[in-house]
Amino acid sequence: MKSLLNFFNSVKLAIFLLIIITLVSMLGSLIPQHRSLDEYVARYGQFAHLLNQLQLTKLYQSLWFIALLCLFALNIIVCTLTRLSPKLRKALHPKLEMESKEITVLKIKGEFKKNIGLDTAKKELKKELRSRHYRLKEVERENKTFLLARKKILGWFGADVVHIGILIILAGGIISGAGGFRKDLTFKERDIRGIPGAEFKLRLDKFETEYYPNGSVKDWKSTLTVIENEKPILSKVIEVNHPLSYKGFVFYQSSYAWNWTNTSVGIWVRKRKDPSFLRKIDVTVGKKVRLESENIHISVLHFIPDFVINERNEVTSRSLQPNNPAAFIEGWEGDEKIMSGWVFSKFPDFARIHSEKETDLSFELKNFKADQLSVIQAAKDPGVNFIWVGCTFLMIGLALAFYWPTREIKVILEESQGKTEVIAGGIASKSREALQSEFEKIMTSLRRLR
């Protein structure tokens, strides 16, 4: 038990673990995480299965990585606790009596003897120290007075506060990983959806995409309403960076998708021999419209957002994004089909229209209209408050450790034969030069006493 405690109490172990965790994290950043086995086989060949078995493909969630972090946490806990209690004792109940040689070994020190009373010297000394915000403790023994002046004592605990912060963050991470939940929900406008594990439902009232003048997306905005017991409770417009929080759940504007079930397309029809001829028609997929002043009907049979021909020579959509929109159109003269074929919005010259009958009509797919779906991420993260508390500790601790240097001044005043001997020394946890100059000033003011 004791040896185990010593094992975890070592800074060497901490440094070893820091190096190991650093190297392992590097490894994890080089291997893409959470991909499909096929992807790993394509990338690493026969090593793919080995990577999988060693959990290197989900390294940061793997048992051994978490075990490593727990070991590190244990190391920090033991190191912090064993160092904390002597430090607390020193801060709260310091030893006041001391030998003069304990002072004379210090790097900042001074001593002199002067023809003044001990009380006069002590009074001046205390005044000087207090004006510099030192807190004083003193004890008298026979003809000696021991004085301990300290300030910014919290600086001693900076590193401990940092370590406690890190432990809280690690705990938060574990709680998030174990108890957190995250799910993407796809909403049409006016959809109402239940949230797993919640007693309320969510309704999407409105979804809009805003664009910059150059056509790139400026923002997605979803108006969400929380519905509890069939009653609307609150509504909020969420956008990226501005989620909705309700009863421990947070709803994020995660992305958007297209609903291609009810698409309508805009088609421009021209005649090759008559440049003045132009008809713009809007037609819903599956419907037929008449071409104005012509005895021709146009129908759109299919709309494909991301047209591609696969290896089996079939037309299919590579994705649900409108990367290569295409429409399959037919032209009818009465009951007779006179033409059919694909038109592409990005490749107007590539239209493949097979005419069964002589015609000089040409078609362009100009635009399309489809509903956009809002993808909302519902998340519950019970660890997140630990993270914020931990971060606060971390930053306060760092500020204390680096910018709140503890200063101590120890003084022994001894009266003998009407003279007072002053032996004083100072200890600074950082910026010794600053304490040195402060110390000199205090000593000078004592020497000036008459």
Least distance from another protein to the Cβ atom of residue 66, Å: 12
Nearest to another protein of 322, 397 (CB atom): 397
Q: For residues 378 and 201, what is the distance between their CA atoms, to the nearest angstrom?
A: 11
Q: For residues 396 and 388, what is the distance between their CA atoms, to the nearest angstrom?
A: 12
Q: Is 217 among the residues that bind another protein (CB under 8 A)?
A: yes
Choice from 121, 226, 379, 424 touching another protein (CB under 8 A): 379
Choice from 123, 242, 287, 352 touching another protein (CB under 8 A): 242
The one-letter code for the residue type at 146 is: F
Comparing CA positions, the residue from 103, 107, 149 lying closest to residue 128 is 149
Q: Is 197 among the residues that bind another protein (CB under 8 A)?
A: no
Which of the residues 140 through 179 are near another protein (CB under 8 A)?
Answer: 173, 176
Nearest to another protein of 32, 248 (CB atom): 32
Least distance from another protein to the Cβ atom of residue 165, Å: 10
Least distance from another protein to the Cβ atom of residue 224, Å: 15
Helical segments of 158-257, H only: 158-179
Least distance from another protein to the Cβ atom of residue 253, Å: 8
Q: Given its phi and psi angles, is residue 247 left (phi above 0), alpha (psi -120 to 50 degrees) or beta? A: left
**Residue whose entry in the numeric block shows the structure tokens 């709260």:** 92
* DSSP annotation of 287: -
Q: How many residues bind another protein (CB under 8 A)?
A: 48
Least distance from another protein to the Cβ atom of residue 447, Å: 31
Nearest to another protein of 90, 432 (CB atom): 432
Least distance from another protein to the Cβ atom of residue 94, Å: 22
Q: For the window 251-290, what string marks contact with another protein as x by the rule CB under 8 A?
A: -xxx------------------------------------
Which of the residues 8 through 27 are near another protein (CB under 8 A)?
Answer: 11-12, 14-15, 18-19, 21-22, 25-26
Q: Is 247 among the residues that bind another protein (CB under 8 A)?
A: no
- For residue 182, the surrounding DSSP H or E stretch is strand 181-187
Least distance from another protein to the Cβ atom of residue 364, Å: 29
Q: For the window 175-194, what string marks contact with another protein as x by the rule CB under 8 A?
A: -x-----x------------
DSSP letters, 374-427, are EEEEEEE-TTHHHHHHHHHHHHHHHHHHHH---EEEEEEEEEETTEEEEEEEEE
Least distance from another protein to the Cβ atom of residue 15, Å: 6
Q: For the window 59-88, what string marks contact with another protein as x by the rule CB under 8 A?
A: -x----------------------------
Q: For residues 196 and 232, what is the distance between their CA atoms, to the nearest angstrom?
A: 18
Nearest to another protein of 54, 395 (CB atom): 395
Nearest to another protein of 48, 379 (CB atom): 379
Helical segments of 156-214, H only: 158-179
Choice from 98, 171, 289, 399 touching another protein (CB under 8 A): 399
Nearest to another protein of 59, 108 (CB atom): 59
**Residue whose entry in the numeric block shows the structure tokens 């504007």:** 253
Nearest to another protein of 37, 395 (CB atom): 395
* DSSP annotation of 212: -
CA distances (Å), 356 to each of 18, 269, 331, 341, in order? Answer: 75, 18, 10, 11
Choice from 54, 388, 419, 441 touching another protein (CB under 8 A): 388
Q: Are 394 and 164 in contact (CB under 8 A)?
A: no
How far from the centroid of its chain's Cα atoms is residue 37's Cα?
28
DSSP letters, 101-143, are HHHHTSSEEEEEEESS-HHHHHHHHHHHHHHTT-EEEEEEETT
Q: Which stretch binds another protein (CB under 8 A): 28-36, 289-297, 328-336, 363-371?
A: 28-36
Q: Are 204 and 191 in contact (CB under 8 A)?
A: yes
**Residue whose entry in the numeric block shows the structure tokens 């969400």:** 224
Give the torsion through C-alpha atoms of 5, 9, 10, 13, to 10 deg: 80
Nearest to another protein of 72, 363 (CB atom): 72
Binding region for another protein (CB under 8 A): 11-12, 14-15, 18-19, 21-22, 25-26, 28-30, 32-33, 60, 173, 176, 182, 212, 214, 216-220, 239-243, 250, 252-254, 377, 379, 381, 384, 387-388, 391, 394-395, 398-399, 402-403
